Chain A
Amino acid sequence: QVKLLQSGAELVKPGASVKLSCKTSGFTFSTSYMSWLKQVPGPSIEWIGWIYAGDGGTNYNQKFKGKATLTVDKSSSTAYMDLSSLTSEDAAVYFCARGTTGGFAYWGQGTLVTVSS
């Protein structure tokens, strides 16, 4: 069945960067659109962007341009998201999700990012 397994919780210092991963199985990764989303207590969910695993094409939410960089490794069916110059505003749970024509049908379990010195 479809699985999206995300990397573990991260504690990072302000100003540092972090790379999150999302290892997938159970579907054809190379023809999939992989999205990343941010959830902060409130609760609220923001869409960061997607990457098309076939050719690495991306589409970012303007709000996250310069903050998030999406990449994939087709050989391991894994999606990655780099977050740079972290501040307290970046502390959140980040999800990867597989997009379909009908929405985000499959989600990872989430990765908690804590920003603290």
Chain B
Amino acid sequence: DIVMTQGALPNPVPSGESASITCQSSKSLLHSNGKTYLNWYLQRPGQSPQLLIYWMSTRASGVSDRFSGSGSGTDFTLKISSVEAEDVGVYYCQQFLEYPRTFGGGTKLELK
């Protein structure tokens, strides 16, 4: 199985500052079609996960442009510019290249 490893945030993050969350995969997620099959989700307290970014850098419908995804085949970053109260929760990366689909352990964002 592909192992997804996420980094921690230096919490709490001051409101209005930017935050970057890292994720590493044990295998390249670059498909032969040129797409990188890495997704990012946010799970707000008490809610279901919400898809933020797919194919490493494409924002899902309705997602704020304060969220951006980047990376290579195995190292990825989710950047949140100007953190707001609604950004609080746990962020997950997930690979969509192979079965079984696997998730990182989550990175918690707290607001100062």
A103 touches B96 (CB 8 A): yes
* In the complex, chain A residues whose CB is within 8 Å of the CB of B22: none
Secondary structure type dominating chain A contacts: strand
**Chain B residues with a Cβ closer than 8 Å to the other chain, count:** 23
Q: Is the CB of B20 closer than 8 A to any CB of chain A?
A: no
**With A42-B105, A43-B90, A43-B106 as given contacts, are A104 and B100 in contact (CB-CB < 8 Å)?**
no
**Chain A residues with a Cβ closer than 8 Å to the other chain, count:** 20
Q: Is the CB of A69 closer than 8 A to any CB of chain B?
A: no
* In the complex, chain A residues whose CB is within 8 Å of the CB of B50: 107
Q: Contacting chain B: which of A12-20, A59-67, A73-81?
A: A59-67
Closest partner residue, chain A, to B99 (CB atom): A59
Interface string of A22-40 (1 = CB under 8 A from B): 0000000000000100000
Interface string of A42-69 (1 = CB under 8 A from B): 1111110000000000010111000000
* In the complex, chain A residues whose CB is within 8 Å of the CB of B100: 46-47, 61-63
**With A43-B106, A45-B49 as given contacts, are A102 and B58 in contact (CB-CB < 8 Å)?**
yes
Q: How far is the CB of A87 from chain B (nearest CB, A)?
A: 21
Question: A residues bordering B, Cβ < 8 Å?
Answer: 35, 42-47, 59, 61-63, 95, 102-105, 107-110
